[in-house]
Structure 1
Amino acid sequence: MSAWQEVRDLVTARETSTLADRVIALTEAERAEVGRRLPDFLKEMRDTATQMARESQRDHHDDEDPWLAWERRRTVRDALAEFGAPLRIAGAGTISGPAAAAAWLSRRELYPEWAPAPDPAEVVRVLVTRPAEWQADVAARLAGKIRRADDDRVAPLVLALLRASGVTPPAHDPLVVAWLTGEAAAGDPLLGPLLPRIFEAEGAGRALREERLTPSPTRWLSLIRRLLRAGRVSRAELLDGCVSRFLRGGNAADLRFFVRLHELIDPAPQEAAERARDYLRLLPARPRPRSPSWPWPRSTGPARTTTRTSKRRSRRSPSGPRPSWPAPA
């Protein structure tokens, strides 16, 4: 029996673990043959599923009825999705071009439409046997396909591949947001490269808006507190990140997490003094003091601003435009 026939039989039997072992063991020539024949095999499966869907509707006379056409498409997609995991495994180990491999691994028809994201473990086990440069290229291309944090079609696979391969995560904001919506674990190898990006990634603050310090810190704030105590993250980098995020501005929901992170860090007088100029830059955009939760460091704040600053603020017309800086919730 040829290698292609073995792979084909394992795909149709949906024996994912055995299939992954077989694909990893393929020779280069066998790998090339399987990769070449996979697209035609998928078309064959699609045609078969379409024919079976038509036969199930043979009692209906109007073959062009929009409802029947939609039902056929749904039936075909559901049928293909049942073989999605083994087809992705086969493609992960045999498709030679990174662009073609990324396109294959992200095909919508290979994923269930409504079910939770499938476990990517076997696909990743195959992917990490490919050349390192190839893995990095595929990971970057797949990451670029993430559009939303809840994109279960691609995000779990990308994050699992980045963790297993050690590839540097590409700069892509939806990837950071997708990572934040997952588990917060101290042993996560993505902590180092992705945690500093939360201060810059669009949507990160909104993804973390439900984080709380009281009555006890929730998952990300709790993790960061543990990392701080263990000396695994830099107070200076976190403080600089918070201040830079404040200076960028935004609405209350987007800034809420960073305000609470700043409160968690609780800057010492020396740390605040080193950033005094940045804190003072926040003053013109700060609303009238009415929220005790605004993150003024211990060595600064409205009571310690200069007389010149206070006089300049007092000359503003009360009827003029009010500052837009959101009061933290």
Structure 2
Amino acid sequence: MTDWTVLHPIIDGGDPDNVTRLVRGLDPAARKALTEPLRAYEKTLRTGTFVSKRFWTPRLCALTVAGAALLPSASSVAVWIARNGLQEDETGTDVIDLVVEVLQDRRVGWLPDLVDRLALRLPADKLEPQLQQLVVKLSAYTGIAPLATDGLVFAWIATGREDTSRSALARRLFEVDGVGPLLEPGGWPTKLAADETLDRTMMLEGCLFRLRRGGKTADLNGFLLLHKALAPTHSEVAMLAKDYVALLSNSHTAISAMARHELVRAGQAGALPDEWLKISR
């Protein structure tokens, strides 16, 4: 059985590989006995008068692996991983596989909850590739797709890699600020419009919702391009006529012009009642 006097110097030496070896196969009672010393040690590192980044940074990855192996719940493990990190600053070595290994070894039922909690910690304005990879690998192990969080939507558009079902990500695409400027550089308007697995009505409604909500011009331009790529039919414009009419008074000239163009086009094709044509003039 591993006790704290054995585990402590291994963590203190910044050796996550040997931490993994020492915690493998521990029973719940042994893990519980190591939890409080581990928490006290981490607190000492972070709050002691001698603390400096140079001192505690080399120990962070070992701490991350130990916490994943010992802490009692999805919430405590998610907080611990986010606080201590998954990559060694100086060498760039990550401990993603070691964290997955020690979590698999525990055979606990809360891993799907942990996947969702980690996905919720992904930022929606920048990539955190190590945390993203951990979400992907744990999701693959549990067989359960994570929540389509803002961070996963951002990561999907920024990298092109899906970490949950594409339809779930697409539904959330229109709710996440900051992804609009990424659409054109990634060729997303064409790709999304051509994707037959995505519901066209949902995509069109999403575009109109996002344009109506407003925001920065660069963000809105991406969704104007997506709307253009979707090329709505006359019947689709007629079905969503109220949404297009709501955009006629939009402060962004390009948006109001698009709405007027679509209404007039549908009206000229006989798809709209006369009252809608009068409104669009």
- 1:55-104 C-alpha deviation (Å, 9 max, x unpaired): xxxxxxxxxxxxxxxxxx5xx22332212112111110111133332332
- C-alpha separation between the residues in 2 aligned to 1:289 and 1:110? 44
- Of the candidates 184, 193, 198, which is equivalent to residue 168 of structure 2? 193
- In 2, distance between residues paired with 1:242 and 1:114? 44
Contact between 2:96 and 2:130, CA under 8 Å: does it hold in 1?
no
Identity %: 23
Which is greater in Rg? 1
What do you get for the CA RMSD once the two structures are aligned? 4.3
Matching residue of 1:260:
225
How big is each residue's C-alpha offset from its partner over 1:126-178, in whole Å with a ceiling of 9 and x where there is no partner?
335555652244344444545553374985366436633445544754x3454
Q: Distance in 2 between matches of 1:119 and 1:293?
A: 49
2:23 matched residue in structure 1: 23
Alpha-carbon distance in 2 for matches of 1:300, 1:225: 20
**Separation (CA, whole Å) in 2 of partners of 1:290 and 1:144:** 32
Assess if the C-alpha contact under 8 Å between 2:74 and 2:114 holds in 1. yes
The equivalent of 2:179 in structure 1 is 207
Among candidates 144, 149, 153, match of residue 125 of structure 2: 149
Aligned 1:120-135 pairs, distance under 5 A: 120-130=96-106, 133-135=109-111
Q: C-alpha separation between the residues in 2 aligned to 1:194 and 1:137?
A: 19
SS for the counterpart of 2:33 is helix
- Hey, what's the Cα distance between the residues in 2 that align with 1:276 and 1:198? 22
> Residue 123 of structure 1 aligns to a residue in which SS?
helix
TM-score (norm 1): 0.64
Structure with the higher helix share, 1 or 2: 2
For 2:41 and 2:106, how far apart are their aligned partners in 1? Answer: 23
1:218 pairs with one of 183, 186, 189: 186
User: Alignment length, in residue pairs?
Assistant: 278
Write the mapping of 1:1-329 to structure 2, written as runs, cut at 5 A.
2=2, 4=4, 7-8=7-8, 10-12=10-12, 14-17=14-17, 19-20=19-20, 22-43=22-43, 50=50, 73=51, 76-107=52-83, 118=94, 120-130=96-106, 133-146=109-122, 149-150=125-126, 152=128, 155-156=131-132, 159-160=135-136, 163-164=139-140, 165-167=142-144, 169-170=146-147, 173=150, 175-176=151-152, 178-180=154-156, 182-185=158-161, 188-201=163-176, 203=177, 206-212=178-184, 218-221=186-189, 223-224=191-192, 228=195, 231-285=196-250, 297=262, 300=265, 308=275
Q: 1:110 to 1:162 in 2, by over 3 A?
A: closer
**Residues 106-128 of structure 1, C-alpha deviation per residue, up to 9 Å, x if partnerless?**
22588767997946333234335
In structure 1, give the amino acid aligned to 2:111.
Q
TM-score, normalised by the number of residues in structure 2: 0.73
**CA deviation profile, 1:181-237 (whole Å, cap 9, x unmatched):** 64213x643534323111123x1xx2331432xxxx7254465356x1xx3222232
